[in-house]
Amino acid sequence: MIPQAIIVRLGELTLKGRNRRRFEKKILQQITMLMKPYARASKHEEFGRVYIILNGEPYQEIAAGLDRIFGLFSYSPAWIAKQDLADIRNKALECIRSCEPFPKTFKVSAKRANKSFPHTALELGHLIGGYILHNEDGRLSVDVHHPDVELKIDIRMEDVYVFSASVAGTGGYPLGTNGKAMLLLSGGIDSPVAGWLSMRRGLEIEGVHFHSFPFTSEKAQQKVIDLTRKLALYSSERIVLHMVPFTEIQTKLNQAGQDNLIITLMRRSMLRITERIANERKAGAIVTGDSLGQVASQTLSSLQVIGRETTLPLLRPLIMMDKVDIIKLAEKIETMEISILPYEDCCTLFIPKSPATNPNLSIVERLEKMMDWLPALEEEAVAKTERLFIHREEEDKFDEYF
């Protein structure tokens, strides 16, 4: 039995008043964009719900799109009946019979927005439940407390919606409702997951990737583009990816004779460059894929010394997560297979045998003052940064950063 409609529930239950309405409008915009390719489908909104009438459009495709809209509480595949008891009964019976596995117990819950409908909600429960019991010949019984299936009858002003399943939405807050942040995006497992979690909390993100061509290959850059495209599936239209040339800075840092501090110096330089780009792009924070203690640059001491180099808030969504949990999320958002491709990024170059896990801030700052060439190279890296607009489909375009 193919669903004829989808009932979408908006927003988190804790949101109230104007804030809730603002968030709902953002979700409605994304639902409207989702439905553009499906010309026959229509929608209307009522009291925190959106009723999508499929009119023959594919349920699975639209449901998959709803799974990528942040802020949705849940949605249900539904069948449409006329405001006629016989038709409602038939649709209710079809709905029960479509359940997999077939339930042993059920109950009927009815709501009436149309108070002129000739039967009360309580009467409908008996009339529909009795009809189902009669037609299923003893295969079912009623359990009002812990049923296998709760059959819901939603009587609106014109149509009646019959449904039983409820699919949990992605949750969080609608994209862009909490501002914009720059995501330090490598080709690894962690940073795309950090980006997805940031988007889920309402942040619009722009990626910043540091490449060291020709030490890193074009395949390594394509890997980052492909990761960004996966994140773009959850965006309203596209994600901007800033490609920063880092070869000269990385080479000069490697020649400075401070092998144990090169990772610390490199990451501080990355933050300074990212903050410059963030100011140009009016972003209010920087997101990283740091997870406490995972590598030398992510000890508490290293995070403190590296993080002191930016005045913007540093958001670290993975900071207390175990690697196994990060991998599970990477698999869920389908970035894992791309992340493990064997194409190195600049973060894997010039890794010392014994990187500092407890760097001294005063020493690091003194070293940077001695590198009088570093500010000019960072300015040059910003000037030569390219922007790539990553769409859901492969129609990307490079543009010079300015």
Average pLDDT of the residues in 90-104 = 94
Domains 5-168 and 180-400 share a fold: no
pLDDT the model gives residue 345:
66
Average pLDDT of the residues in 15-34 = 82
pLDDT the model gives residue 402:
35
Give the start-end residues of each E strand in 263-306.
286-287
Per-residue confidence band for 18, with pLDDT thresholds at 50, 70 and 90: low
d(CA 177, CA 204): 8
Average pLDDT of the residues in 252-266 = 88
Q: What count of other Cβ atoms lies within 10 Å of the Cβ of residue 264?
A: 26
Q: Does the pLDDT at position 154 exceed 80?
A: yes
Decide: 297 and 263 in contact? Cβ < 8 Å: yes
Decide: 318 and 184 in contact? Cβ < 8 Å: no
Decide: 107 and 143 in contact? Cβ < 8 Å: yes
Q: Does the pLDDT at position 400 exceed 50?
A: no
Q: Per the omega criterion (within 30 degrees of 0), is the bond before 58 cis?
A: no
pLDDT the model gives residue 304:
95
pLDDT the model gives residue 401:
40
**Three-state SS string across 33-88, please?**
HHCCCCCCCEEEEECCEEEEECCCCCHHHHHHHHCCCCCEEEEEEEEEECCCHHHH
pLDDT the model gives residue 14:
55
- The rounded mean pLDDT for the chain is 91
Average pLDDT of the residues in 194-221 = 91
Per-residue confidence band for 200, with pLDDT thresholds at 50, 70 and 90: very high
d(CA 364, CA 376): 18
Boundaries of every domain in the chain:
5-168, 180-400
Q: Does the pLDDT at position 398 exceed 70?
A: no
Percent of the chain that is helix, strand, coil (3-state, to 5): 40, 20, 40
What is the assigned CATH class of domain 180-400? Answer: alpha beta
Decide: 164 and 95 in contact? Cβ < 8 Å: yes
Q: Does the pLDDT at position 396 exceed 60?
A: no
Q: Does the pLDDT at position 10 exceed 50?
A: yes
Q: Whose structure tokens read 């001695």?
A: 370
pLDDT the model gives residue 123:
95
pLDDT the model gives residue 295:
81
Q: Does the pLDDT at position 372 exceed 80?
A: yes
pLDDT in tens, 70-83: 989 999 999 999 99
Average pLDDT of the residues in 90-99 = 94
d(CA 318, CA 370): 34
pLDDT the model gives residue 236:
72
pLDDT top residue among 25 and 316: 316
DSSP letter for each residue of 19-32: HHHHHHHHHHHHHH
Average pLDDT of the residues in 15-43 = 86
CATH number for the segment(s) 5-168? 3.30.2130.30
Residue 71, sorted as left (phi over 0), alpha (psi -120 to 50) or beta, turns out to be left
> Model pTM?
0.89
pLDDT the model gives residue 346:
63
Q: Exposed, middle or buried: residue 386 (CB in 10 Å: 0-12, 13-18, 19+)?
A: middle
pLDDT the model gives residue 15:
58
